[in-house]
Structure 1
Amino acid sequence: MTIATRPEATLPTVDARIYPRGGLDILSREEVARLKDASSGGLHDLLRRCALAVLTSGSANDDPRAAQEMYPDFDIQVLQQDRGLRIDLKGAPAMAFVDGEIIRGVAELLFATVRDLAYMAIELGPEYAADLDSSAGITNAVFGLLRNARLLHPSEPNLVVCWGGHSISRVEYEYTKLVGYELGLRGLDICTGCGPGAMKGPMKGANIAHAKQRQRRPRYIGITEPGIIAAESPNPIVNQLVIMPDIEKRLEAFVRIGHGIIVFPGGVGTAEEILYLLGLLLREENAALPFPLILTGPVSSAPYFEQIDRFIRLTLGDAAASRYEIIVGDPQAVARAMAAGVKRVREARIQNKDSFYFNWGLDIPLPFQQPFVPTHEAMAGLDLHHGRKPHELAADLRRAFSGIVAGNVKEDGMRRVEQYGPFQIHGAEDMMRALDDLLRAFVEQRRMKISGEYRPCYEVVT
């Protein structure tokens, strides 16, 4: 391994040769070939971007292009050898190494990146596109990805998914740690979107609690996707990472493996997640399904949740609000309520003969699973009017927030906005006023971006 500093920058880089072990021992020749393919349809550029995000784990920058600009010479090659694999890194961030060796946790996340992209290249390749035309086919694909990542274990239900923003205040971040600590004391593991802020805090708190309880092999699962990982690099506590192909499969993975969900303060991405889950829980097929959902934050965040609650009641009705509980300023109450909810989930799974590790009983219709590409035409064409079934309206509201996420932090979405201007969102007048008020509050509270002045990538047409 060599360490060098580029003359035009102060950031040291590393050239290294790594031999994976433990979960990434073997790839087929076809998988290696696709990872090396640098053509427009190949995977090499995607692998390079995702690997760079992992190697800058813990970065506080949410611009997906920042790391590429700081390390323009970075490259990764996956090579097949007679006795296994070799990964060659060129111009890699030196922050991922200590005393000449790659940090073990970073190496594990890097191997997970190679593993997931290799699996997607074959199992979800063009030749299997027909399998993804049905709801059952997409769910099977999600199951396959999670099983390949070794996330599915037939153990007691104890996995709590924590959603929340990457750009939150220090008070809110400290609160997420307190909640994570209380969850960890009760033997609950944590799953998040793997990034900073509300995705890191619960893991950090639970880590201390698990150590106190001498809990062996605690799980800190991070679920991401290629468009997000470059803007939200995995935080250092994540010990199991999986990269899903798109946001829709990422969301399905959360609700299939989680036994309950806690929502902390966040921005448009958090609102997207809330609307996705409520859209599912409002379906008649899922009405009797226990799924604990708690919205929580410090006392100072009470106005945030009041505004979220008003928006949900206006758009989806009181029935949607009945599916969640708001607890402010009481981490112990949150943990107790979640532990009780997970117990109800366990009882229901036993009664319905459903697995503990994958929620097969949750009905997810095809419109919630099909990838939404936020073009300007697609965003303007969303049907955001009263009179629709609540779960159908929730699906389109989710897409609206998903498009704003893309315009904020995803490279393709940012490029579209730079080229054609802000996305336009149309709908019922009262709904658009409420949406505009909510988004303005996110901007004023600096929930859209971690650093720099925020320039809206959207325009709400009232």
Structure 2
Amino acid sequence: MQPRHVINASVSPKGSLETLSQREVQQLSEAGSGSIYALFRQCALAILNTGAHVDNAKTILDAYKDFEVRIHQQDRGVRLELLNAPADAFVDGEMIASTREMLFSALRDIVYTESELASQRIDLESSQGITDYVFHLLRNARTLRPGVEPKMVVCWGGHSISTEEYQYTKKVGHELGLRKLDVCTGCGPGVMKGPMKGATIAHAKQRMSGSRYLGLTEPGIIAAEAPNPIVNELVILPDIEKRLEAFVRVGHGIIIFPGGAGTAEEFLYLLGILMHPDNRELPFPVILTGPKSAAPYLEQLHAFVGATLGDAAHSLYQIIIDDPAEVARQMTEGLKEVKQFRRERNDAFHFNWLLKIDEGFQRPFDPTHTNMASLQLDHRLPSHELAANLRRAFSGIVAGNVKDKGIRLIEKHGPYEIHGDTAIMQPLDHLLKSFVQQHRMKLPGGAAYVPCYRVVS
């Protein structure tokens, strides 16, 4: 990636961030805390690169090595001074409004995360404590809207998809929007953009105001997949596990489109949670869908789930091929069940408190070579625990593909090794090879994909 035109600018929030204390500004300043400053700089650079067709965090960071962001506390609030910032984020010297909103959302979330972690009331040693932490992060971002009936549909899928698949996601989003449903995605390109784009047109047709396009991400992902400009609510969670929990706590149903390793990670996370005995009666509509051309992909993913997690996992979702209207109709019916269930049990509409999530799904997984090689992928495990470990394997592959730290680990030590039972390794290897053949691992147009992993039976 060649450096683009750069610009120096000074920007202030417009109703998107309260004033920061001097201590909080110090936390973010380069002198106060190098790690926190580096984190915000990385997220800010990704946001300023919104629209860039790059999915490699290292490439973006290397292209703008001289980019700096300085945080200034003023009597009237906080101000950011940007040096050598990507010029595409500005029009006639003024920062694009959506970019400015997301920039200060990143500042808000990083400051709050640091402040909360430093407080004594955060208990990250218990499952309930982690859930409370996710709740507080979402509430601080004003994402939780009490009293609003269930209508937040999460859309998962790949950033590297074909044009036909992208157009299909727009059609599904349009059908969701016509039914006045809101959309939540991982906030990036591809499947994370298409449903939002389709929904915006449908919401306009329905003369809706206050439509929500919620993007949930985390620092390692946002650096590689800049937010798409349709996102009007951006929340940056501190790690992938809390991001995934946020999806299933605020979402009322999930649609899964074609994707790659990241989509498989999300799908396995969801199946592992829904397979927990405590969640057996809890309604949570899940639909796999895509155009006719994506049928082989959906069949491969369905076969992999059957070979590893069994028929019980198959019963938790339905597959709809090439029918956007039917997808939206089925999701709407599913949301009626969610509404009825939560009303009967006095559960909140805005946060799924009744969903049981084991600590194994909440603890951050560090995809080092040792941790990847040590994953227990064995049919002797309960199905929901096996799903958790399979999710970690795909999480490592995502890190090796697009995250700065993972890419550097692969460059230094070579590919990860993934070990396990032959009955699990063979379908895993087959699925991963199909992802590579279908160009689902990386954005097309760059160098040929070199696997960051090796499957060992």
Scaled to the shorter chain, the TM-score interval is over 0.9
- Picking from 323, 342, 347, the partner of 2:335 is 342
> Is 1:265 the counterpart of 2:258 in the alignment?
yes
Q: 1:359 aligns with which of 352, 364, 368?
A: 352
Tell me which residue corresponds to 1:150. 142
User: What is the match of residue 3 of structure 1?
Assistant: none
The aligned residue for residue 128 of structure 2 is: 136
Distance of 1:10 and 1:346 partners within structure 2: 49
**Deviation per residue, 1:209-265 (Å, 9 max, x gap):** 000001111000100000110111000110100000000000000000000000000
Report how far residue 431 of structure 1 moved. Answer: 1.1
How far apart, CA to CA, are the structure 2 residues paired with 1:11 and 1:250? 31
Which residue of 2 is the match for residue 62 of structure 1? 55
Partner letter of residue 146 of structure 1? L
Distance 1:243 1:255 in 2: 15
CA contact (8 A) 2:116 2:122 kept: no
Measured in 2, the distance between the counterparts of 1:67 and 1:122 equals 28
Separation in 2, partners of 1:10, 1:64: 14
Is this contact kept in 2: 1:159–1:191, CA < 8 A?
Answer: yes
Aligned to 1:108: 101
**Shift of residue 11 of structure 1?**
2.2
In structure 2, how many angstroms separate the alpha carbons of the residues matched to 1:394 and 1:11? Answer: 42
Separation of aligned partners in 1, 2:337 and 2:313: 20
> Is the contact between residue 187 and residue 214 of structure 2 (CA under 8 Å) also seen in structure 1?
yes
Aligned with 2:123: secondary structure?
Answer: helix
Match of 1:307 among 271, 295, 300: 300
Where structure 1 has 5 or more consecutive residues not aligned to the other structure, the ranges are 1-8
**TM-score, with structure 1 as normaliser:** 0.96
State the one-letter code of the partner of 1:69.
Answer: D
**Amino acid in structure 1 at the alignment position of 2:103:** L
- Show the counterpart of 2:248: 255
Q: 2:456 aligned with 1:461, yes or no?
A: yes
Q: Matches of 2:55 and 2:376 in 1, distance apart? A: 30
Question: Deviations 1:40-79 (Å, cap 9, x if unpaired)?
Answer: 7531111111000000111110010222233222111111
CA distance in 2, matches of 1:251, 1:307: 23
C-alpha RMSD over aligned residues: 1.2
The question of whether the paired residues in 2 share the 8 Å contact of 1:298 and 1:329 is answered with yes
What SS is found at the alignment partner of 2:454? strand
Deviations 1:114-155 (A, max 9, x none): 100111111023x55961010011001100110111100021
User: Hey, what does 1:452 align to over in structure 2?
Assistant: 447
Pick aligned residue for 1:238 from 222, 231, 237: 231
Q: Residues of 2 paired with 1:28 and 1:327: CA distance?
A: 51
Distance 2:380 2:4 in 1: 56
Q: Please state whether the residue corresponding to 2:287 is helix, strand or coil.
A: strand
Aligned counterparts, 1:53-452, within 5 A:
53-125=46-118, 128=120, 131-154=123-146, 155-450=148-443, 451-452=446-447
Q: Is the 8 A contact 2:52 2:226 kept in 1?
A: yes
Given that 1:38 and 1:45 are in contact with CA atoms closer than 8 Å, whether structure 2 keeps it comes out as no
Take 1:173 and 1:212, find their aligned partners in 2: how far apart are those partners? 21
Q: How does 1:20-39 map to 2 (within 5 A)?
A: 20-38=13-31
CA deviation map 1:376-407 (0-9, x unaligned) = 11111111111211001000000000010011
Contact 1:224 1:243 in 2 (8 A): yes
Cα pair 1:34 1:42 within 8 Å, conserved: no
Structure 2 residues without counterparts, runs of 5 or longer: none
Distance 2:353 2:247 in 1: 13
Deviations 1:144-190 (A, max 9, x none): 11011110002111100000000000000000000000000000000
Letter matched to residue 418 of structure 2: I
- Alignment check: 8 A CA contact 1:76 1:90 kept: yes
Which deviates further from its counterpart, 53-62 or 70-79? Answer: 70-79
The code of the aligned residue for 2:129 comes to G
Classify the secondary structure of the residue corresponding to 1:204.
helix
CA contact (8 A) 2:70 2:80 kept: yes
8 Å CA contact retained: 1:124, 1:141? no
Q: What SS does the corresponding residue of 2:289 show, helix, strand or coil?
A: strand
Structure 1 SS opposite 2:57: coil
Distance, in Å, in 2 between the alignment partners of 1:374 and 1:108 is 32
Worse-matched range after superposition: 196-205 or 34-43: 34-43
Question: Percent identity of the aligned residues?
Answer: 59
- Asked if 2 retains the 8 angstrom alpha-carbon contact of 1:176 and 1:264, the reply is yes
User: Aligned letter for 1:401?
Assistant: F
Distance 2:448 2:96 in 1: 34
| Distance across 1 between alignment mates of 2:187 and 2:12 | 25
Equivalenced residues, count:
453
Find the residue that maps to 2:211 and give its secondary structure.
Answer: coil
- Provide, for residues 297-343 of structure 1, a one-character-per-residue CA deviation record: whole Å limited to 9, x for no partner: 00111111111111101111100010000000000000000011111
SS, match of residue 42 in structure 1 = helix
Partners of 2:379 and 2:64 lie apart in 1 by: 48
2:9 counterpart (6, 16, 28): 16
Q: 2: distance between equivalents of 1:437 and 1:350?
A: 43
Kept in 2, the 8 Å contact 1:172–1:298? The answer is yes
User: How big is the shift at 1:23?
Assistant: 2.7
> In structure 2, what is the Cα distance between the partners aligned to 1:113 and 1:151?
14
SS in 2 for 1:425: strand
